[in-house]
Structure 1
Amino acid sequence: MRRWVLALLATGLAAVLGVWAVSLYVEKRYEDRILPRTQAPRKPVALVYGAGLAPGGVPSPVLAQRLDAAIALYQEGQVDALLLSGDNSDPFHDETRAMARYVLDRGVPESDVEEDDAGLSTYDSSVRAHTVFGVREAVLVTQRFHLTRALYIANSVGIDAWGVAADEGRPRTRRYALRETLSRVLALGMVMAEAQPRYPSGRTLASPR
């Protein structure tokens, strides 16, 4: 009996160490591509990942922080356009439209704003940016805890991607540590499997499914 318990413990420990090692690899792989906003390389587009809406259908505080950083990149001439990628699969959750209203109200011209309302996940948003919207070079805009995973996916699927942390200069949070650890493992698996996004074609969910 004791032998089985020890074997089970050893297996569990090996699994935990394996998950940790894979997560660390994904976290560190493109970490050197995270730069302060003022040092970000000039790229054609900033890819902004959705992060939910607050009551009233406006961007959540986390999403607003991402949008503010992207607007600053645009206003400073470091990107020419914004690609706003969010999840509009729920008819009562028009995330990308709320994102677009936010940046338009702050002076970004409509001609320089593109919406992807089928960005159901970080992976889907990154793959669709490349295959549907033709993005080859981009600055990714999201919080620091999420940025290493986004950079790993985007660079792995064909985008020359650099990252700007929307929460630059603020204390790091461990709130999402466990979720990100597991999400990084999943990201590596999806990249290796060359998984397809849920909606691999069509620029909006209004397109035929």
Structure 2
Amino acid sequence: MAGALGVAAAVLAMATGDLWVRAEASGHVHGVADVPAAPVALVLGAEVYPDGNPSPFLAARLEIARQLLAAGKVQAILVSGDHMDWSYNEPGAMFRWLIDRGVPSQRVVLDHAGFDTYDSCARAKQVFGVDSAIVVTQSYHIDRAVALCRRLGLDASGVGDDTVRIYTAPWRSCVVRERGAVVKALFDVVSGRDPVFLGPLEPGVGAALASG
């Protein structure tokens, strides 16, 4: 009986979380061509390989940000990812990928403490002073990312990548994990927790915008 109740509670929590993120993101997810312009593209981190190269999922996100900058949709790119361990550096890999493809270095700002989507959105607002942004990630994740950023005070739209659907097994695994992630997102919003690392306002985004 207790097991059945636990399963029912988990299913209800996932359904509630899914409905919440969809409602929050409704009308705010677009393609590259039709997304409203914003000062900043916020690129959320993903796996980086041991050789320092971004995984295909992360490279696809970075390519969208590059396109947004080239099209004049954004003026700066904030790359936010995990750098908890000195030997693993998502934002550093993201920065190098963009620079290698012609993005001016002064247009790219690194957030080394974007340990999850909530932290990336919270730090974009509270640490980097971002008020309006285009959030970039994969399509299975974009509703949650937009929902969290908007709840945390950003006027956020989103662009989700679908090109890496060709990697069928990893894509399916991520879609399954997302069902649990929406529950965590709802809990984070309700709790109003601070990101793992907070700090004083950093001038990087302002400087990047001024350089344009």
TM range (shorter): 0.7 to 0.9
- The amino acid across from 1:91 in the alignment is W
Q: Please state if 1:43 is matched with 2:34.
A: no
Structure 2 match to 1:176: 174
Distance 2:20 2:101 in 1: 35
Q: Which residue of 1 aligns with 2:158?
A: 163
Inter-CA distance 197–99: structure 2 relative to 1 (3 Å threshold): same
* Aligned residue among 68, 82, 87 for 2:77: 82
Aligned with residue 51 of structure 2, among 45, 53, 56 = 56
Structure with higher Rg: it is 1
User: Which residue of structure 2 lines up, in the alignment, with residue 23 of structure 1?
Assistant: 17
Q: Distance in 2 between matches of 1:141 and 1:117?
A: 17
Q: Residue type matched to 2:102 in 1?
A: G
Q: Distance in 1 between matches of 2:56 and 2:163?
A: 15
Task: After TM superposition, give the deviation of residue 200 of structure 1 in Å.
Answer: 1.0
Q: Aligned AA for 1:175?
A: S
- Give me the TM-score of the superposition, normalised by structure 1: 0.87
Query: Aligned to 1:65, which of 49, 60, 69?
Result: 60
For the residues of structure 2 that align with 1:170 and 1:121, how far apart are their CA atoms? 22
- What percent of counterpart residues are identical? 39
Residues 168 and 137 from structure 1, CA distance in 2 versus in 1: closer, same or farther, beyond 3 angstroms? farther
In 1, Cα distance between equivalents of 2:181 and 2:164: 24
Please list the CA deviations of residues 132-184 of structure 1 after superposition, one character each: whole Å capped at 9, or x if unmatched: 00010000000011111111110000001000012269579432233111111
136-145 or 86-95, larger mean C-alpha shift: 86-95
Paired position in structure 2 for 1:201: 199
Contact kept in structure 1, 2:60 and 2:164, CA below 8 Å: no
Deviations 1:90-134 (A, max 9, x none): 111122111111111111111111100111111111100000000
TM normalised by structure 2 equals: 0.86
Task: For 1:132 and 1:143, locate their aligned partners in 2 and report how far apart those are by CA, in whole Å.
Answer: 24
